[in-house]
């Protein structure tokens, strides 16, 4: 007797070891709920960013924090250090915490807290989603707004309600899936230029995400759905350098503004101090930071903010999945970061110099 497809998993799961049901987003939201007070706080962060993008608020945006969150205790320690500075400088700077749970890999490697929260290759994603949501709640309860990169199109249903700023990374800015996703996200979203340095790639992403889309997705109950969006008018450009050269210098910024203008896109730009702009050398981030602040101080209001990879302690370390307990506290396991002491100095300099 011939097998039917239902009887023959080689037809649809030839390379799949197992599948495991996820709890619906609503289940995690009920387990880790958002109070009305926190809901208003997160929305306020989004609205203030919108006003900056619209030119109605002249404060400078700084998104600072670890390259990735792998230890939520250390991440919360960083947040507690950051909070007093957020309050101290809030009249001229809008500072929010970089809270990244998903890490795109060029080939292979640890993919972030959501995917492997135990750092040992066990992929306990249910625990990862819960840890991510709880951490975002902890950060919000401290009075800090969070920014993150959205990599998987499903994860925003689990914790997007706790995010005030989102990013589409250099590896996914050209992806139709991520452009559609951005068109429906409820917060301002930055598109990074491509890893090769293409600005037009990101500009096209911005224009696409400004438009309405219909696509396949999941709703908050976890059910496969047709999603129809109205478009996200707060999409903007992030310059992160390319494979050939950095692009934070004045000429590169001017060229990027021209491309945005030619396409009818918002000309607001955030500049990443890390990645190719610092040649992936964390010790070069302060120099990039100061150059960006100087451009803004000299009148380039198209530069509305910057991103900084910063942790409690500088540098990075290699993850040994066989013994993750040996990791040093407050040190990145992905890209190298500057340490807290240097971060304090840079934020103070920005505040003193921004007019």
Q: pLDDT tens digit string along 304-331?
A: 999 999 999 999 999 999 999 999 999 9
Q: For the residues of 165-195, what is the DSSP string, one character each?
A: EEEE-TTTTT-HHHHHHHHH-SS-EEEEPPT
Q: pLDDT tens digit string along 102-149?
A: 988 777 789 999 999 999 999 999 999 999 999 999 999 999 999 999
- Bridge partners, 235 (sequence order): 189
CA–CA dist 23, 52 (Å, integer):
37
Contact (Cβ atoms closer than 8 angstroms) between residue 349 and residue 332: no
Contact (Cβ atoms closer than 8 angstroms) between residue 50 and residue 61: no
> What residue ranges do the domains of the chain occupy?
29-353
Q: How confident is the model at residue 281 (pLDDT cuts 50, 70, 90)?
A: very high
Q: What is the pLDDT of residue 348?
A: 98
Q: What is the pLDDT of residue 315?
A: 98
pLDDT at 2 over 90: no
Q: What is the pLDDT of residue 105?
A: 76
Q: pLDDT tens digit string along 139-152?
A: 999 999 999 999 99
Contact (Cβ atoms closer than 8 angstroms) between residue 268 and residue 233: no
pLDDT at 265 over 90: yes
Q: For the domain bounded by 29-353, which CATH number is listed? A: 3.20.20.70
- Over range 263-290, report the average pLDDT: 98
pLDDT at 1 over 70: no
Contact (Cβ atoms closer than 8 angstroms) between residue 119 and residue 110: yes
Residue 103 or residue 83, greater confidence:
83
Residue 236 or residue 3, greater confidence:
236
Distance in angstroms between the alpha carbons of the first and the last residue of the chain: 79
pLDDT at 3 over 60: no
Contact (Cβ atoms closer than 8 angstroms) between residue 251 and residue 263: no
Residue with tokens 């478009």: 231
Q: pTM for this structure?
A: 0.96
- Over range 72-100, report the average pLDDT: 98
pLDDT at 291 over 80: yes
Nearest 5°: phi and psi at 77? -60, -45
């Amino acid at each position: 007797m011939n097998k039917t497809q239902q009887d023959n998993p080689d037809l649809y799961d030839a390379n799949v070891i197992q599948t495991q049901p996820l709890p619906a987003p609503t289940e995690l939201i009920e387990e880790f709920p958002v109070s009305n007070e926190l809901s208003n706080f997160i929305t306020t962060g989004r609205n203030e960013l919108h006003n900056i993008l619209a030119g109605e608020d002249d404060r400078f945006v700084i998104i600072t924090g670890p390259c990735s969150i792998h230890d939520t205790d250390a991440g919360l320690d960083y947040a507690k250090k950051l909070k007093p500075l957020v309050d101290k400088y809030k009249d001229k700077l809008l500072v929010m915490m970089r809270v990244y749970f998903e890490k795109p890999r060029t080939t292979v490697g640890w993919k972030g807290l959501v995917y492997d929260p135990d750092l040992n290759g066990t992929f306990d994603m249910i625990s990862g989603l819960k840890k991510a949501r709880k951490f975002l709640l902890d950060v919000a309860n401290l009075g800090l707004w969070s920014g993150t990169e959205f990599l998987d199109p499903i994860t925003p249903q689990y914790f997007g309600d706790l995010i005030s700023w989102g990013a589409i990374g250099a590896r996914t800015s050209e992806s139709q899936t991520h452009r559609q996703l951005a068109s429906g996200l409820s917060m301002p979203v930055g598109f990074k230029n491509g890893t090769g340095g293409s600005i037009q790639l990101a500009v096209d992403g911005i224009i696409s995400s400004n438009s309405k889309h219909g696509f396949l997705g999941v709703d908050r109950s976890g059910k496969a759905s047709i999603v129809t969006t109205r478009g996200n008018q707060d999409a903007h450009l992030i310059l992160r350098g390319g494979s050939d050269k950095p692009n934070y210098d004045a000429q590169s910024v001017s060229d990027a503004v021209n491309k945005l203008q030619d396409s009818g896109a918002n000309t607001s730009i955030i500049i990443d101090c890390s990645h190719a702009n610092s040649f992936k050398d964390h010790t070069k981030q302060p120099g990039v930071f100061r150059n960006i602040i100087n451009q803004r101080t000299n009148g380039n209001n198209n530069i509305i903010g910057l991103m900084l990879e910063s942790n409690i302690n500088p540098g990075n370390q290699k993850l040994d999945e066989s013994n993750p307990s040996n990791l040093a506290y407050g040190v990145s396991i992905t890209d190298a970061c500057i340490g807290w002491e240097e971060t304090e100095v840079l934020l103070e300099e920005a505040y003193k110099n921004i007019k």
